[in-house]
Amino acid sequence: MEIDFKTKRLQKQCNDDKEMVKIHGKERAEKLRKRLDDLRAALNLSVMKSLPGRCHELKGDKKGELAVDLVHPYRLIFKPAGENFKKKDGGLDWSAVTSITITSIEDYHD
């Protein structure tokens, strides 16, 4: 899958192992690296349903975004890139998503 980032800062955090550990600590950085590797290797988003990390759609003010678990309570938040991923009923066609934009790494449960 193709991965883009909302900001250059976020891109650096996710692609520089030293920076990742500095910001997120060793345990969360390891999970983050694993989730990013899984996303990059996936042919499309539907593959993520069968992998660890509980990839799921978000609701409320984060509707349209998805998340995968890191170290509780943190999540890697992203959204599909492009517009050809909606089903006729308006739902997300997971198998049509081949490109995403990482938007944040956060605990959105506050």
Stretch 25-54: mean pLDDT: 96
pLDDT at residue number 5: 98
pLDDT at residue number 90: 75
Q: How far apart are CA 40 and CA 35, in angstroms?
A: 9
Stretch 43-71: mean pLDDT: 94
Of all residues in the chain, what percent carry a pLDDT higher than 90? 85
**Residue 19, amino acid:** E
Tens of pLDDT, residues 69-89: 999 999 999 999 987 788 878
- Other CB atoms within a 10 A radius of the CB of residue 27 amount to 11
**Residue 103, amino acid:** T
Q: What's the gap between Cα 72 and its chain centre?
A: 15
Domains of the chain: 2-106 (3.30.2310.20)
pLDDT at residue number 110: 59
Question: Token digits for 21?
Answer: 């550990």
